[in-house]
Structure 1
């Protein structure tokens, strides 16, 4: 296994990260663009693009903005409405693993920005059926969330003839350097299928074994290319035009609008996924079982590149969090109707054999339990390419809980959110 000499991603990354002659990964190299791009000029280009989509008659929205109860939703809506001056229609796919804080954040978002919002809540029985299928086929409990979050905005765009969809950051740019900022990559069906959906479109799930019929996947089906072309739907990413810094953006939104953060199970980042019981918990643990790494590595690499962590600190954090057991597994198993033994049996089929092996006791072990141990062999090269810290500390805030007496111990399908409390 090869580890990047600057951040801590390995060459076994599922998005096919690459390395140059100095042992620096493609994600780090593309990230260097953030310090050289004229972002003022890029933002002016964004304004030209979005101005062309303003609804002059006032009888429709200017654009669609996909949102959730976390991530970069607040920053995106703030930028679209308060900075660019557009009139967005917010759309959200109900992931059904909702936390109380996430429901409240979403309600507060709608109220703070005074925006219309459309929500898709798929029949829970259908969601469970699809999740059982994707867990078996792909080792994923989150396929339905990603599929819904990426297709529902497109469906709404076609139905209501709103051609512009504004997304936040494209992980192919911001994480692994699959594209340059200068490529100005836009949302495509192809990328969504191959990377976000692990090669499976909704139609691919239909089969007798999982009892999934055509009617079950309608809400996840991508509109036909002719419909896309007829409306002229395009999805742009803000991180092509704005220097993306998730931590700084969240802290601004906490200050301006009262976005709520929360401690997470398997990472130090308290901002990104507070809306979901599973994303930084069961889902991320599955990622570790399949690929040998989790969100902690994603977050450490991000903060190293943004010069808030140094590499040695990142290694300590990865060792602290990477093997952390999920806290919400029983909640998920009760929801889907599965035993822990069955859950583990299924996931064992999806472990990467380049990363995991069975020992003499038939227990799973990492082939390289400490991939950073042998790095002394290349310390000179690491010192040559490492980034210096620019901030004294890399601290993530935990905001005041607006409902401290509420026991948040079950998924909330639909909730009012209690904004302003």
Structure 2
């Protein structure tokens, strides 16, 4: 397996990473723009874009912001409303795997910023049927989350005639350098299907085998192109106009709004995805089986590029977290209603056979050292800031503090 000579990404990254003649990946090359672009100029350009969407008659919202109880939601809403002066409608898809931390953060988000919020909660039985089908088809327990998070804001934009959707960071830009920041890439149905949804649209699940009907997938269907064109819906990404640094952004939000962090199972990042039992747990473990790397590689590579972590430190993080078993698998199996043996059988169909093989005891083993070969690494970045641990905030008790998925929570402390 070939790895970037600067960060820790392998050549089989699902977003199709490429390497230059020095062995440096496209993600690292585009990341260099963060230190060369004039971000004041980029911010001015963003302000000029937003001027065209300001609702001067005050009879509608200026824009839509997709949010959750984690990620960069606080920073995005803070920036769009308090810094840029827009009046946003917050929109969130209920992923069903909710933690009490995420429920509290989401409640705090809507109260701190005094914003209206719309939430989509799909019938749990439909979600479970779709998830069983997505495990079988793609080895994914997270398809419904990705589909809901990327389609519901567009549905709301069309329904309420709000043409502007503001997203945070474009994964293709920030992780693998699929585009330059200067391309100012926007949300598209094509990117959503090919990358977010792994090539599978909601309609592809309909069939007798999984018992999925048109009614089950209606909430995941992307609006028709003519509807989108009629309203003029577009989705822009803040990381094309603001220098993106999720660690620094979260720490600012902890100070300003008491954002709640939480320790994660399979990575050192305690800021992102704390709203979900599975994202950095069962979902990430499946990612490791399919690709040979997980979220800890994403997070370590990000910190290396930001020059807060050396490559050696990143490698130690991978050694610490990559082989950790998920802690919440039993919870997931109980929720979806399948046995561990059935789950393992289904996931093994999607296990990458170039990375994994059976040993003499019929146990799965890695074909090569996933901890990387350290020879001939000549393109290391110099560390400009000492790496500091992620902040673990106070742990709160609330009416939602239960060790189980929370479908609907109040968020009261």
CA RMSD of aligned residues (A): 1.1
Q: Which residue of 2 aligns with 1:167?
A: 167
Is it true that 1:388 corresponds to 2:382 in the alignment? yes
Per-residue CA deviation, residues 322-365 of structure 1 (Å, 9 max, x unaligned), is: 01000000000000001111100000000112211122222211
**Helix, strand or coil: the match of 1:342?**
helix
Per-residue CA deviation, residues 104-128 of structure 1 (Å, 9 max, x unaligned), is: 0000000000000000000101100
Q: Which residue of 1 aligns with 2:125?
A: 125
**Helix, strand or coil: the match of 1:90?**
strand
Q: Which residue of 2 aligns with 1:399?
A: 393
2:91–2:117: 8 Å Cα contact kept in structure 1?
yes
Query: Superposition pairs for residues 78-227 of structure 1, below 5 Å?
Result: 78-227=78-227
Shift of 1:405: 10
Per-residue CA deviation, residues 115-142 of structure 1 (Å, 9 max, x unaligned), is: 0000000010110010000011010000
2:318–2:371: 8 Å Cα contact kept in structure 1?
no
Could you tell me how far apart the structure 2 residues matched to 1:198 and 1:334 are? 26
**Helix, strand or coil: the match of 1:217?**
helix
2:400–2:411: 8 Å Cα contact kept in structure 1?
no
Q: Which residue of 1 aligns with 2:15?
A: 15
**Helix, strand or coil: the match of 2:204?**
helix
Could you tell me how far apart the structure 2 residues matched to 1:121 and 1:406 are? 17
**Helix, strand or coil: the match of 1:399?**
coil
Q: Which residue of 2 aligns with 1:36?
A: 36
Question: Which of structure 1's runs of 4+ aligned residues deviate more than 3 A?
Answer: 404-408
Query: Superposition pairs for residues 300-339 of structure 1, below 5 Å?
Result: 300-339=300-339
In structure 2, the CA distance between the partners of 1:147 and 1:405, relative to structure 1 (3 Å rule), is closer
Shift of 1:406: 7.4
Could you tell me how far apart the structure 1 residues matched to 2:261 and 2:292 are? 27
**Helix, strand or coil: the match of 1:92?**
strand
**Helix, strand or coil: the match of 1:165?**
strand
Query: Superposition pairs for residues 209-358 of structure 1, below 5 Å?
Result: 209-358=209-358
Could you tell me how far apart the structure 1 residues matched to 2:370 and 2:133 are? 34
2:281–2:326: 8 Å Cα contact kept in structure 1?
yes
Question: Which segment is superposed worse, 396-405 or 107-116?
Answer: 396-405
Could you tell me how far apart the structure 1 residues matched to 2:339 and 2:382 are? 47
1:65–1:165: 8 Å Cα contact kept in structure 2?
yes
Shift of 1:371: 4.8
Q: Which residue of 2 aligns with 1:26?
A: 26
**Helix, strand or coil: the match of 1:65?**
strand
- Unaligned ranges ≥5, structure 1: none
Could you tell me how far apart the structure 1 residues matched to 2:245 and 2:369 are? 31
**TM-score normalised according to structure 1 size:** 0.97
**TM-score normalised according to structure 2 size:** 0.98
In structure 2, the CA distance between the partners of 1:405 and 1:229, relative to structure 1 (3 Å rule), is closer
Could you tell me how far apart the structure 2 residues matched to 1:353 and 1:25 are? 24
How many pairs align? 413
**Helix, strand or coil: the match of 1:345?**
helix
Could you tell me how far apart the structure 1 residues matched to 2:193 and 2:357 are? 29
Per-residue CA deviation, residues 214-269 of structure 1 (Å, 9 max, x unaligned), is: 11100000000000000000000000000000000000000000100000000000
